[in-house]
Amino acid sequence: MTIADSVAEYSDQDVPVPLWRQRLKVFRANKLAIASCIYIIVLAAACFLVPHLHPTNQTNQAIAFNTPQNETPSSAHWLGTDSNGFDELGRIFFGGEYSLTLGFLAGFITIVVGTIYGMIAGFVGGVVDAVMMRLLDAFLSIPYIFLLITLITVFGRSTVFLICIIGFTGWWGNSRIIRGDALLIRNLDYAKASTSMGASKMHVIKSHVFPNSISNIVTVATFSVADAILFLSALGFLGLGIQPPQTDWGTMLQSGAAQIQNGFWWEVWPLAVIFILVVVAINYIGDALRDAFEVRLLER
């Protein structure tokens, strides 16, 4: 064995495993989280593809009038039909398209706005921070569902507006957490050293504060998607969600639950299980992500 070979072998052992791969390893060790990921991906794929690949009538009341209503599951309708005669299984996917899209988009807006606001407040500090945080306190003291109802009353209902309202009102809690992170990291030695060497504020945020608070941002992002889906379903239940002929899971659960007493279990139970599992799965993924970003759990 030549010296060069042994050096190569030695340095190969010493090369640290990239951070993202270590994190992926921790994440993959959590079997429940992997199962949750698969569940969400499969369900999302089904919701976006099935209504187009195997279209069932979900919007035309006139045609639905000719199909039997509240029919028990059969080979023609795998999960029966609902009280309007729409195919229940097809409707779950049809409504899921809206629920998932709105949930993810609103969650995304939430995290982007929350991160920017929290970063600015935490990093600038001083009077700006105090003013921004008092504003947040004011928002947070208005019960969320009351605020959503107020905004929908004032601004009216449409799908785009629904996304915007949930997105632009859901970030307050997130932004608090991220502001706390920014405040902490700003005062750590490496950030101070960078500033003292003449780095601009933008540079410190970009290369120190943001990468180090990414763990909280990602975790909070997953939880806010789950929350957005939940709030959307509550609005759907109150009749303030997606308007007919479109539908979403909240609206469907509401109309389905009205039929439990008639024994039409297929109109509520399958959807209820799918819905609850979605929220549980997203929360599990959030927990696993938090573990993956926890430095103490990494093997080096």
Q: Where along the sequence are the contacts to other proteins (CB under 8 A)?
A: 134-135, 137-147, 149-156, 226, 230, 233-234, 237-240, 250, 253-254, 257, 260-261, 272, 275-280, 283
Instruction: Compare residues 98 and 210 and give the one whose CB is closer to other proteins.
Output: 98
Q: How many CA atoms lie within 13 A of 168 on its CB side?
A: 8
Residue 146 C-beta: closest distance to other proteins, Å: 5
Residue 294 C-beta: closest distance to other proteins, Å: 14
Distance CA(231)–CA(240), nearest Å, equals 11
| Cα 282 to chain centroid, rounded | 7
Cis peptide before 270 (omega within 30 of 0): no
Instruction: Compare residues 188 and 273 and give the one whose CB is closer to other proteins.
Output: 273
Instruction: Compare residues 65 and 155 and give the one whose CB is closer to other proteins.
Output: 155
The secondary structure of 15-49 as a DSSP string is SPPPHHHHHHHHHHH-HHHHHHHHHHHHHHHHHHH
Instruction: Compare residues 279 and 298 and give the one whose CB is closer to other proteins.
Output: 279
Cβ-Cβ contacts under 8 Å for 171 (sequence gap 6 or more)? 109, 110, 111, 113, 114, 117, 224
Q: Where are the alpha helices (DSSP H) in 54-188?
A: 61-64, 88-124, 126-141, 144-155, 159-169, 172-186
Whole-angstrom distance between the N-terminal and C-terminal Cα of the chain?
28
Q: Is 84 helix (H, G, I), strand (E, B) or coil?
A: coil
Residue 29 C-beta: closest distance to other proteins, Å: 17
Residue 257 C-beta: closest distance to other proteins, Å: 4
Residue 101 C-beta: closest distance to other proteins, Å: 18
Provide the phi-psi class of 125: left if phi over 0, else alpha when psi is between -120 and 50, else beta: left
Instruction: Compare residues 7 and 131 and give the one whose CB is closer to other proteins.
Output: 131
Residue 157 C-beta: closest distance to other proteins, Å: 11
Instruction: Compare residues 222 and 233 and give the one whose CB is closer to other proteins.
Output: 233
Instruction: Compare residues 198 and 263 and give the one whose CB is closer to other proteins.
Output: 263
Structure tokens belonging to residue 123:
């990093």
Residue 241 C-beta: closest distance to other proteins, Å: 12
Q: Is 87 helix (H, G, I), strand (E, B) or coil?
A: strand
Distance CA(144)–CA(151), nearest Å, equals 11
Residue 179 C-beta: closest distance to other proteins, Å: 16
Instruction: Compare residues 69 and 254 and give the one whose CB is closer to other proteins.
Output: 254
> 296: buried, middle or exposed (CB in 10 Å: 19+, 13-18, 0-12)?
exposed
Q: How many residues does the chain have?
A: 300
